[in-house]
Amino acid sequence: MKRDLEQKLIERWPTWFDFNGNLQHTLMPLGFEHGDGWFSLLWRLCEDLEPLVAEYQNGTTHRFQVVQVKEKFGGLRFYVENANDVIRQRIELAELESLDTCEVCGELGVSRSDGWIKTRCDAHYSLAL
């Protein structure tokens, strides 16, 4: 994802994304490893997680942290530490939504394989051929 889009997420949720962290503890210094088309999906996910994380953290000393965000097998992967089942279920919904969202532009997409599984709209799938 482009750096300016990454920066918007980092500025909005600075305690969630540790881009200066040690690679032994977080892979976020590698950045968001997917296309720009999933930015809106990620933004909505983080907005939805905000009250869930606040409630979770109110009852624990553990700090919620995103440790990696990437594409794998045509879908979003959003790996976190210190989360409960409610948070993980919301993340799972976003990951499922990504399988119908073009990773390039954010429009309706389909998971397709041409050696690698990618989720693309018709236009961006045609461009890759």
Q: Tell me the per-residue pLDDT of 44-102, one tens digit each, with 9 for 90 and over.
A: 999 999 999 999 999 788 899 999 999 999 999 999 999 999 999 999 999 999 999 99
Residues 91-115: b if buried by 16+ CB within 10 A, e if exposed? beebbeebeebbbbbbeebeeeeee
Q: Return the structure tokens found at 56.
A: 């979770």
Strand partners, 75: 72
pLDDT band at 125 (very low <50, low <70, confident <90, very high): confident
* Confidence (pTM): 0.92
